[in-house]
Amino acid sequence: MGIDYIATTVEQTAAFTAAVSKPGALTRCVPSCPEWTVADLVAHLGEVQTWWEHGLRSAGPVPDEAAVAELAKPGADLLAWWRERSESFLATLRATPADSPSWCWWSDNKLTTAAEVAERQAHEVLVHRWDAENALGAAVPFDPALAADGVREFLQRFLWGKPWSGPEGLVRLRATDTGDEWDVALRSAQPRRVPVYPEVPASAVVSGSAEELDLLLWRRVPVSALTVDGEVELVDALVRWTTLD
């Protein structure tokens, strides 16, 4: 059975809300997002969910930036604003048919479906839930299957950016808990995911749990936290190259 991305988004949003609502949480620094406090994290995720709510409502055209900006202004009560914004987003996500069109940034024609928005937002809030809980001392581990899906989703949507200028080679990501593997070819134009052929040697093999690999790609943990066999500089270059904005 596949992942229910709407249910996952709801579940992870609730966990995020529980974490940031703890006494004193908003002023805590977020180690995984340098120079941010938990309050900044709340404001960011509220803006993200507001943007995608408008994307779903617009059913294709780019969301109205002025309208989003107005709604994305936190009021004096940050947590009340966050709850209102997240509840509105989740209600829209639940009510929108899975095949309804939505604006996106990851396809050539800038169009996707509500189902893919749910997928993207499930992983967005998963990582930020980890950010918040980690800032407070201890983050609940990712479900391994969800973490492995997060690696797949990252490689599908975030291998883009400026032309690749680093060394060429093949980086293999190996999840030691789920058995999944992903290959990323580093070429002169742009890194891209390629099929895994075990008989083809990789320039570097990065081994760790699916959660560790997911967090590595999101630059939440350093390369040194995982096991690398081969050219570590290739892995460093790939992690630094991706565009997370």
245 residues of the chain, pLDDT tens digit each: 699 999 999 999 999 999 999 999 999 999 999 999 999 999 999 999 999 999 999 988 888 888 888 888 888 899 999 999 999 999 999 999 999 999 998 888 889 999 999 999 999 999 999 999 999 999 999 999 999 999 999 999 998 777 888 889 999 999 999 999 999 999 878 899 999 999 999 999 999 999 999 999 999 999 999 999 999 999 999 999 988 86
Q: Are 241 and 166 in contact (CB under 8 A)?
A: yes
Q: What is the pLDDT of residue 65?
A: 84
Main-chain dihedrals φ then ψ at residue 166, nearest 5 degrees = -85, -175
Q: What is the pLDDT of residue 70?
A: 84
Q: What is the pLDDT of residue 100?
A: 96
Query: Helix crossing, 210-217 with 114-135: angle to 10°?
Result: 100
One domain for residues 27 and 107:
yes
* Residue labelled with tokens 């009340």: 80
Burial class (CB in 10 A: 0-12, 13-18, 19+), 16: buried
Enclosing domain of residue 222: 144-241
One domain for residues 171 and 101:
no
- Domain limit, last residue, from 106, 135, 164: 135
Alpha-carbon gap, residue 64 to 238, rounded angstroms: 34
One domain for residues 12 and 125:
yes
Would the CA dihedral through 213, 217, 222, 227 be positive or negative? positive
One domain for residues 95 and 122:
yes
One domain for residues 167 and 88:
no
What is each CA distance from 45 to 4, 17, 151, 199, in whole angstroms?
A: 21, 11, 20, 42
Number of domains comprising the chain? 2
Nearest-CA neighbor of 220 among 242, 194, 200?
242
- In this prediction the pTM is 0.95
Q: What is the pLDDT of residue 189?
A: 80
Alpha-carbon gap, residue 30 to 40, rounded angstroms: 9
